[in-house]
């Protein structure tokens, strides 16, 4: 097996395989199907939030239920159908525009220099964006995915450029390599929401699809990637306060026959534990940097992505300047539960 893999590796320029530097800039970026709230829907939701006093970080389940019911009432049947088609795996990435992020007539406060702990939320920022994210998760009948010791353990995370060279969501001077969310935990989120409060045209959220990855992999490489010979590691100590590792395959098939990927291509986040696993991982990295179509979108204010975590990889180009994005990780509570081996 090793000889076969080595030959395959050599035929694809081993000097490139040794480097896993990502060249995302300059790729062609694909477009997404666009769904949009009307101005009336957006304003109606913002007005509803202005009358609410429940803290979305503390009592998120109550906010999720209430906001989900409001969205059920005010969104058009077409938009709700489209959102639910995402929930039933109709799409693996969903783009939603004109989302409410702050009350009518208000101006978004300055981006905080650091993500504030839950006990010290900025008083100048109202809760419209948080209520909306929780409402969308309620509409999709999803459960919040919470991990202690990660970003203050909050239900909605602040993604802010705070650490220039970090290989994580808080970096900005280096591309954030393609990855799935929270790969080092036993159970990963099924999907997540990303909502831009303050977009940056240089910061493209990149993504690619597992089907496209599998279509370019030789069967021997795929076979190695399905073996539990990879160690997924938590990253940036400022985000993951407790170092964690999880040994598993990179590609799995769940009980309903759906293939899933678990990978973080940022340096030091995924290690092959055997010689064959190391070769397969390098081959996969090279395919991602050369053969797999990478799409991307620079989120503008009020634009949201809903991303299925198991069938896509996502990342971010390097950028300069201000940016404030909120993220919420979710598990699917109504659809077939994924195999825990993922
Ligand atoms: Fe991410």
Give the confidence band of 311 by pLDDT, cuts at 50, 70, 90: very high
Range scoring the smallest mean pLDDT among 246-250, 260-264, 275-279, 289-293: 289-293
Determine the distance separating the centroid of ligand 1 and the alpha carbon of 315, expressed in angstroms: 6
* Closest CA relative to residue 83, chosen from 94, 73, 74: 94
Q: Which two tokens stand for residue 99?
A: 């989302």
Asked if residue 130 belongs to a domain, the reply is: yes
Examine residue 143 and state whether it is found in any structural domain, yes or no.
Answer: yes
Is residue 6 situated within a structural domain? Answer: no
Give the Å distance between the CA of 324 and the centre of ligand 1.
14
What is the whole-number distance in angstroms between the Cα of residue 310 and the centre of ligand 1? 12
7 CA distance to ligand 1 centroid (A)?
34
Domain with residue 177: its CATH number is 3.60.130.10
* Band of residue 147 on the pLDDT scale cut at 50, 70, 90: confident
Residue 242 Cα distances to 15, 275, 329, angstroms = 35, 28, 19
- Residue 339 domain-assigned? no
Question: How does pLDDT run across 42-81, given as a tens digit for each residue?
Answer: 999 999 999 899 999 999 999 999 999 999 999 999 999 9
- Residue 230's alpha-carbon distances to 7, 38, 109, 114, 245, in angstroms, are 21, 46, 43, 33, 10
Q: Is residue 20 part of a domain?
A: no
Q: Compute the mean pLDDT over every residue in the chain, rounded to the nearest whole number.
A: 84
Q: How far apart are CA 49 and CA 126, in angstroms?
A: 9
Token pair of 222 as six digits: 């795929």
Q: Is 50 exceeded by the pLDDT of residue 121?
A: yes
Domain that holds residue 58: 30-331
Looking at residue 342, what is its pLDDT?
44
Distance CA 211, CA 292 (A): 10
Question: pLDDT tens for residues 208-254?
Answer: 999 999 999 999 999 999 999 999 998 766 666 677 899 999 999 98
Residue 15 Cα to ligand 1 midpoint, Å, equals: 28
Tell whether 198 is covered by a domain: yes
DSSP annotation string for 265-311: -STTSEEESSHHHHHHHHHHHHHHHHTS--EEEEPPTT-EEEEETTT
Cβ within 8 Å of residue 53, ≥6 positions away = none
Q: Tally Cβ neighbours within 10 Å of residue 281.
A: 24
How many whole angstroms from 44 Cα to the centroid of ligand 1? 31
Between 32 and 250, the more confident residue is 250
The distance from CA 133 to its chain's CA centroid, rounded to whole angstroms, is: 14
pLDDT at residue 193 greater than cutoff 90:
yes
Q: How many separate domains does the chain show?
A: 1
Cα 288 to ligand 1 centre (Å): 17
Residue 340 is predicted with a pLDDT of 43
pLDDT band of residue 139 (cuts 50, 70, 90) is very high
Query: What is the rounded distance in angstroms from the CA atom of residue 256 to the CA atom of residue 339?
Result: 9
Position 2 pLDDT exceeds 80: no
Ligand 1 centroid–CA 27 distance in Å is 19
- Cβ burial, residue 228 (10 Å; 0-12/13-18/19+): middle
pLDDT in tens, 265-280: 988 899 999 999 999 9
Ligand 1 centroid distance, CA of 169 (Å): 6
- Phi-psi region at 334: left, alpha or beta (left = phi > 0; alpha = psi -120 to 50): alpha
Can you read off the two tokens belonging to residue 38?
A: 């009307």
Residue 303: its pLDDT value, please? 97
Predicted pLDDT of residue 176: 85
- pLDDT for the residue numbered 151: 58
CA of 5 to the centre of ligand 1 (A): 30
Distance 91 CA to ligand 1 centre (A): 18
Distance (Å) from CA 179 to ligand 1 centroid = 6
- The answer to whether the CB of 251 falls within 8 A of the CB of 313 is no
Report if residue 13 sits inside a domain: no
Between 119 and 250, residue with greater pLDDT: 250
Ligand 1 centroid, distance to 109 Cα (angstroms): 24
Q: Ligand 1 center to residue 255 CA distance, Å?
A: 25
The CB density around residue 69, as the number of other CB atoms within 10 Å, is 13
End-to-end C-alpha distance for the chain, whole angstroms = 25
pLDDT > 60? residue 198: yes
Six-digit token pair at 87? 């929930």
Mean pLDDT on 87-113: 86
- Going from the Cα of 313 to the center of ligand 1, the distance in angstroms, rounded, reads 9
Q: Is residue 296 part of a domain?
A: yes
pLDDT score recorded for residue 286: 94
Q: How far is the CA of 57 from the centre of ligand 1 (A)?
A: 20
Q: Which residues pair with 271 in a beta bridge?
A: 231
CA of 316 to the centre of ligand 1 (A): 8
The stretch 109-116 carries a mean pLDDT of 78
311 or 114, greater pLDDT: 311
| pTM for this entry | 0.86
């Amino acid at each position: 097996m090793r000889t076969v893999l080595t030959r395959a590796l050599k035929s694809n320029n081993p000097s490139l395989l040794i480097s896993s530097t990502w060249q995302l800039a300059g790729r062609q970026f694909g477009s997404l199907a666009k769904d949009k709230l009307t101005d009336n829907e957006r304003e109606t939701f913002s007005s509803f939030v202005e009358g609410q006093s429940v803290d979305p970080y503390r009592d998120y389940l109550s906010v999720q239920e209430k906001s989900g019911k409001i969205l059920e009432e005010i969104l058009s049947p077409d938009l709700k159908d489209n959102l639910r088609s995402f929930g039933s795996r109709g799409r693996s990435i969903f783009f939603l525009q004109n989302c409410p992020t702050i009350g009518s007539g208000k101006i978004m406060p300055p981006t905080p220099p650091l993500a504030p702990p839950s006990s010290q939320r900025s008083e100048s920022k109202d809760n419209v964006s948080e209520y909306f994210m929780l409402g969308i998760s309620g509409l999709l009948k999803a459960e919040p995915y919470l991990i202690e010791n990660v970003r203050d353990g909050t239900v909605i995370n602040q993604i802010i450029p705070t650490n220039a060279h970090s290989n994580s969501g808080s970096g900005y001077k280096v591309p954030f390599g393609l990855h799935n969310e929270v790969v080092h935990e036993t159970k990963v989120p099924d999907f997540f929401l990303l909502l831009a409060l303050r977009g940056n045209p240089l910061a493209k959220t990149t993504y690619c699809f597992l089907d496209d990855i599998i279509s370019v992999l030789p069967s021997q490489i795929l076979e190695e990637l399905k073996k539990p010979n990879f160690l997924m590691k938590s990253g940036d100590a400022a985000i993951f306060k407790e170092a964690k590792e999880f040994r598993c395959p990179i590609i799995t098939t769940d009980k309903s026959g759906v293939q899933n990927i678990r990978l973080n291509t940022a340096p030091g986040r995924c290690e092959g534990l055997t010689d064959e696993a190391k070769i397969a991982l390098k081959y996969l990295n090279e395919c991602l940097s050369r053969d797999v179509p990478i799409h991307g979108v620079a989120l503008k204010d009020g634009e949201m992505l809903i991303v299925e975590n198991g069938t896509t990889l996502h990342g971010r180009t390097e950028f300069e300047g201000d940016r404030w994005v909120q993220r919420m990780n979710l598990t699917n509570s109504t659809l077939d539960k994924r195999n825990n081996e993922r």
